[in-house]
Structure 1
Amino acid sequence: MIAAMAAMMLLPIDVSDAGWLSDVFKGSSKQAKSPKQGKPSKHLTSRKPATLAKRAASPKRRTVRLAALGPAALPSAAFKPVAALCDPSKLRIVLDVGHTAESEGAISARNVSEFVFNLRLAKRIEEKLRAEGFTETRLLVTEGKARHSLFKRVAAANNLHADLFLSIHHDSVPNKFLEDWEFEGKKSHFSDRFSGYSVFVSRSNPDFKTSFAFAELIAKEMRAQGLDYAKQYSQPIMGRYQRELLNKETGVYRYDELIVLRKTRMAAVLLEAGSIINRDEELKMSSPGRRDIISSGVTAAVKAFCEPRWAMLGPI
């Protein structure tokens, strides 16, 4: 069997235009009964050579701004073609910048919004991925208020027919852990009690297996970069914020309710890159050096995900 599999890897393989891995679009139970469920989307199968050549010559804009897209209707569920090889130039990665300019997320110990941290880090990750040949990487910047923006970013990722969805965030703590202090004459809050990155996946995602595998690769690379994960989410002191720790070695947590993880129709992961309410870690997260470390880790994880061995056998 091993010899046969090795021979398969040496055979020439035609990769579809989308270059997708075995990631399946899954709808609701009603959709599953529809006779159209198993048909591939025309968008995936009807590309002509001339169209492909034009696309290669004219790469798409790097940033997707949802205000310009208008209302985005979710496409009907369809099966993605299985590709035995991952072509980096065709792997579609959506880097979701967590929160918006209107709903900024957490506020750091030095009064900087989480959205600012998220945008800076996501841009650096995009640069690294593109430099490594993942030219179909898209930076997703959303506008609008909190909950409504979640559904807008999910719809945009689904309409882009992404293979991987990575949402970039920076962590804080529940209000009960906050302490008061002043920074540059302004009142603020901090908590130096917790620090570290964390990675979240949802079992409600239609491709949980791939989501978890990708999350594991990211978390292992974070550890390889010398970073520690945030262990507090597994502790009862977190109350309603406590999460199931799926791997105590890497720091991958289960968070089923997150809309961007359960509503996206592709493998989806959320990365809390570090705590910005921790005063020491906030300074590190503000530095170009830390952004380089994290972006290098994410890029290494994507490259590992794209290896032919992984595509055929799964992580070993």
Structure 2
Amino acid sequence: MRRCELIRVLGGIVAGLRPRRLAVVAIAVFALLPIEVSDAGWLPDLFKTSSKHAKSPKRAKSARQSTRPAKLARHRAQPKHRATRLAALGPVALPPSVLKPAAARCDPSTFRIVLDVGHTAESEGAISARNVTEFAFNLRLARLIEERLKAEGFAETRLLLTEGRARPSLFKRVAAANNLHADLLLSIHHDSVPNKMLEEWEFEGKKSHFSDRFSGYSVFVSRDNPEFKTSLLFAELVAREMKAQGLQYAEQYSQAIMGRYQHPLLNKETGVYSYDELIVLRKTSMPSVLLEAGSIINRDEELKMDSPERRNIISSGVASAVKEFCEPRWALLGPL
């Protein structure tokens, strides 16, 4: 469809809209158009079309006839390929109900996301049903996410590997992330269950533990993080990407059976929880999210988490979430 035809169609659509909603539609149109738009004078005409005090058809016709020669003269005097940048519009005041928390416009080549590899070689986290350490799962997935993000143009992606025992290493990784002046932090983990839920079995001649009771991913944020709203925004994007890939979130964290591991569920549709006391989320100065990619204590899900297919699904989902986080246009509009 040529631009002039598109303009006429849009004019017909918005003719009956109230002014407040019209402003939102106009912003949406500009967001979807290329950065440079030729003959951008159609926007004022669009607003005039929907005015409550529009002229009657008869008067409008005579007005057009009287002004047409002058308009033609001005049009001919102007360059053929006039370009107007979106910045020329200046700030636009949108209704509070329309605005959403949004990341600032970012340049992927300079945007720095830190991928925190959960746990350390000295403190390896959970042990899977087949006696593989969580740290090994975390490192392998984090490296693939790093590779995927760099391939998407996020050249400043940093893999954060920390040494030492459990609690001291948490403060080390927080300090390292803050010193890197990161724009975003994603901590990579794999899930287990409280010890009281574990059952014994034998794998390859070695005693091990499992729990097939729960499975799924989960996403955590801390309400004490100084960038909580932005953290929650990114958490929602990650969780929605996981769900879009057909993955289910772990529902047990909202259940009393989890005891001290129970956490408030912030979004029952996507599986975003709050974990306010977690140091890596609470003490970092940038928006921070923790992803439990799946359960490695569940025997069936451990096999899936060990497969290249599942790792590709998760790394692609994270990369898509980061790209959407950095794209400002999507956040301009709420429900109309």
TM-score normalised according to structure 2 size:
0.70
List alignment gaps of at least 5 residues for structure 2.
1-22, 36-84, 88-101
Could you tell me whether the CA contact under 8 Å between 2:103 and 2:230 is conserved in 1? Answer: no
2:217 is the alignment partner of 1:197: yes
* Equivalence for 2:308: 288
TM-score normalised according to structure 1 size:
0.75
* Equivalence for 1:212: 232
How far has the Cα of 1:290 moved from its partner?
Answer: 0.7
* Equivalence for 1:153: 173
- Please provide the CA RMSD for this pair: 1.9
Which digits, 9 at most, give the CA deviation of each residue in 1:142-201, with x for residues without a partner? 111100100111011101110110000000000110000111111100000000000000
Q: How does 1:111-126 map to 2 (within 5 A)?
A: 111-126=131-146
* Equivalence for 2:77: none
Higher gyration radius (CA): 2
How far has the Cα of 1:131 moved from its partner?
Answer: 0.3
Match of 2:290 among 254, 262, 270: 270
The letter for the 2-side match of 1:167 is S
Could you tell me whether the CA contact under 8 Å between 1:223 and 1:250 is conserved in 2? Answer: yes
| Alignment CA distance shift 1:252-1:83 (3 Å) | closer
| Alignment CA distance shift 1:83-1:276 (3 Å) | closer
Which digits, 9 at most, give the CA deviation of each residue in 1:25-67, with x for residues without a partner? xxxxxxxxxxxxxxxxxxxxxxxxxxxxxxxxxxxxxxxxxxx
2:163 is the alignment partner of 1:143: yes
Q: Tell me the distance in 1 between the aligned counterparts of 2:321 and 2:207.
A: 39
The letter for the 1-side match of 2:134 is E
Could you tell me whether the CA contact under 8 Å between 1:201 and 1:269 is conserved in 2? Answer: yes
* Equivalence for 2:198: 178
Query: 3-state DSSP class of the match of 2:294?
Result: strand
Query: 3-state DSSP class of the match of 1:180?
Result: strand
Which digits, 9 at most, give the CA deviation of each residue in 1:112-169, with x for residues without a partner? 0000000000000001000000111000011111001001110111011101100000
Give the percent of matched residue pairs that are identical in Structure 1 and Structure 2.
78
2:248 is the alignment partner of 1:224: no
Which digits, 9 at most, give the CA deviation of each residue in 1:259-307, with x for residues without a partner? 0000000000000000000000001101111100000100110111111
* Equivalence for 2:332: 313
Q: Tell me the distance in 1 between the aligned counterparts of 2:29 and 2:309.
A: 40
Q: Tell me the distance in 1 between the aligned counterparts of 2:184 and 2:151.
A: 18
How far has the Cα of 1:313 moved from its partner?
Answer: 2.9
The letter for the 1-side match of 2:201 is W
Aligned length: 247
| Alignment CA distance shift 1:264-1:314 (3 Å) | farther
Which digits, 9 at most, give the CA deviation of each residue in 1:44-98, with x for residues without a partner? xxxxxxxxxxxxxxxxxxxxxxxxxxxxxxxxxxxxxx98522111111000000
Could you tell me whether the CA contact under 8 Å between 2:221 and 2:276 is conserved in 1? Answer: yes
The letter for the 1-side match of 2:125 is G
Q: Tell me the distance in 2 between the aligned counterparts of 1:226 and 1:83.
A: 26
Q: Tell me the distance in 2 between the aligned counterparts of 1:170 and 1:197.
A: 8
| Alignment CA distance shift 1:192-1:83 (3 Å) | closer
* Equivalence for 2:71: none
Q: Tell me the distance in 2 between the aligned counterparts of 1:85 and 1:254.
A: 26
| Alignment CA distance shift 1:12-1:168 (3 Å) | same
List alignment gaps of at least 5 residues for structure 1.
14-81
How far has the Cα of 1:309 moved from its partner?
Answer: 1.2
Q: Tell me the distance in 2 between the aligned counterparts of 1:196 and 1:291.
A: 14
Query: 3-state DSSP class of the match of 2:120?
Result: coil
Could you tell me whether the CA contact under 8 Å between 1:275 and 1:281 is conserved in 2? Answer: yes
Q: Tell me the distance in 2 between the aligned counterparts of 1:274 and 1:203.
A: 23
Could you tell me whether the CA contact under 8 Å between 1:168 and 1:271 is conserved in 2? Answer: yes
Query: 3-state DSSP class of the match of 1:195?
Result: coil
* Equivalence for 1:243: 263
2:318 is the alignment partner of 1:298: yes
Q: Tell me the distance in 2 between the aligned counterparts of 1:147 and 1:4.
A: 48
| Alignment CA distance shift 1:134-1:183 (3 Å) | same
How far has the Cα of 1:308 moved from its partner?
Answer: 2.2
Q: Tell me the distance in 1 between the aligned counterparts of 2:260 and 2:177.
A: 29
Q: Tell me the distance in 2 between the aligned counterparts of 1:90 and 1:282.
A: 36
How far has the Cα of 1:5 moved from its partner?
Answer: 8.0
Could you tell me whether the CA contact under 8 Å between 1:170 and 1:272 is conserved in 2? Answer: yes
Q: Tell me the distance in 2 between the aligned counterparts of 1:308 and 1:134.
A: 16
2:112 is the alignment partner of 1:92: yes
The letter for the 2-side match of 1:90 is T
| Alignment CA distance shift 1:181-1:314 (3 Å) | farther
